Structure 1
């Protein structure tokens, strides 16, 4: 199928908010010869978290109250859209090799391009695999196994993913845990065999690494990413030895439960609580829990969300929209 025809399926401009701060078009991964070319970013050396003089000792923080920040990782600290899309294509080829027999380099390039647009619907990494397969089925009727792919547009996926996901999972007879395990193994293999390539497919949003390094607040990472990958990126890409016990990743429970755990810890009593996210749906889940009423909630304007979601969030009294400069200033 011609690349021109594929690219012609892109949604109408101006209707979607793509990955703000995403990988620049000139360095996004492409597949000109069937093999991925990974965009690379320079790796700066940053002192370990807590290793700078500006940081307030924990004992002093406890005495004065202080602030506690629970930060999402992907879409708040790190732009992982390039890496997750490439990893999803790799994993999809392992899971459904027959599906890719008719997928050429031009179609792979188109798939990765659409994944940038679709990234706001992804809550947990394994969903990237489902999106990759759905995109293939949209393009190649002969491999179609789902009832929803025929005539499905990118915009419709964005608007209806919560309904589409269980449908395709059932029709493809897939289970969540197997896909989570596969996605993790593919990433582990990439890291083991090409660490610089894996690191280079990610980037930290401007200023977030410095804000973490200089923060005088108690900071936790609360993410649906597997903890080992967040920890590796903090160390290898930002030079931050972030304490592993302060990373709550995939498998530690829903974010609302993690926030409840954090606020109940004796050392956190009296602190002002802040939760920073890029998913409007996640913040809504927090609002539904009366036990979490003491959390200040923030939706970032640079992460994986749409203009429509930001407008809806702005109308919710509990949620504050925050831009990147203000986030970095507040965290410090």
Structure 2
């Protein structure tokens, strides 16, 4: 047998979607909390979008972008604050404490994950319907990735927390790559550790070397915790949505290899 199987994260490994996800989140936040935007001017919106690029490493699932938009709004405009954490909160503190902050603001704002996921998806669908080229143009594939995918001799699967229909559309329209929908495991297909177990258990993958490329250190650490996934080679993409501190920590973990974009494209080919 022999050969390689690559399970690839999408956002932050294949595609830089931060521009699109930030703009979609702002659109969705204006729908969800319309009254909060009464006193928001264009310069505040631009500031929010700028901060969203810095904060992108904390986002695991797209709906969290909406929470970040509102939290940034509460930081900027004290009169609309409903959360106990916004006062004096810095961007660095959000980067370092997002996992602790998220459940607090969800509770204080009385928000539900599924409702925010649904809204975020609908806003993207509407943007695609009304301005497909604008939606596509707000994303970009990292240099060399499209060709690497197109000419790869390995078995390639996409394992992402993005909704599958958006990943599939971007691969097809922006990268010119057709990956069968059954090879795209998107939001709702279960945690990534469970998807990796499914992939390694498929008989057609017997004898293949298994590689998982991800830009979130927390996700790789979850894989390491599960002995059933010991045969996966793990890589953290340096070019993705992670911080210098996370890259340093990854470098100290024997199981994880730090990967540069050029090396990734070569490996995939």
The aligned runs of 1:40-189 (5 Å cut-off) are 64-189=1-126
Listed one character per residue, the Cα deviations across residues 114-167 of structure 1 (whole Å, up to 9, x for unaligned) are 000000000000000000000000011111000000010000000000000000
The separation in 2 between residues aligned to 1:213 and 1:241, in whole angstroms, is 8
The separation in 1 between residues aligned to 2:181 and 2:129, in whole angstroms, is 20
Pairing partner for 1:202 from 132, 139, 144: 139
Question: 2:210 maps to what in 1?
Answer: 273
Where do 4+ consecutive residues of structure 1 move more than 6 Å? none
Q: How many residue pairs end up in the alignment?
A: 269
Pairing partner for 1:297 from 229, 234, 240: 234
The separation in 2 between residues aligned to 1:236 and 1:148, in whole angstroms, is 41
Question: 1:42 maps to what in 2?
Answer: none
Larger radius of gyration: 1
Question: 2:199 maps to what in 1?
Answer: 262
The separation in 2 between residues aligned to 1:120 and 1:241, in whole angstroms, is 28
Which structure features the higher share of helix residues? 2
**Root mean square deviation of aligned Cα:** 0.4
The separation in 2 between residues aligned to 1:87 and 1:294, in whole angstroms, is 38
Question: 2:151 maps to what in 1?
Answer: 214
The structural deviation recorded for 1:307 is: 0.4
The separation in 2 between residues aligned to 1:234 and 1:192, in whole angstroms, is 17
The separation in 2 between residues aligned to 1:228 and 1:215, in whole angstroms, is 22
The structural deviation recorded for 1:65 is: 2.0
The separation in 2 between residues aligned to 1:214 and 1:302, in whole angstroms, is 21
Q: Does 1:253 align with 2:190?
A: yes
Listed one character per residue, the Cα deviations across residues 162-199 of structure 1 (whole Å, up to 9, x for unaligned) are 00000000000000000000000000000000000000
Question: 2:127 maps to what in 1?
Answer: 190
The separation in 2 between residues aligned to 1:324 and 1:305, in whole angstroms, is 14
3-state SS, counterpart of residue 189 of structure 1: helix
Pairing partner for 1:307 from 240, 244, 259: 244
The separation in 2 between residues aligned to 1:238 and 1:215, in whole angstroms, is 14
The separation in 1 between residues aligned to 2:65 and 2:254, in whole angstroms, is 32
The structural deviation recorded for 1:251 is: 0.2
The separation in 1 between residues aligned to 2:105 and 2:23, in whole angstroms, is 21
Q: Does 1:225 align with 2:192?
A: no
The structural deviation recorded for 1:202 is: 0.1
* TM-score, structure 1 normalization: 0.81
3-state SS, counterpart of residue 302 of structure 1: coil
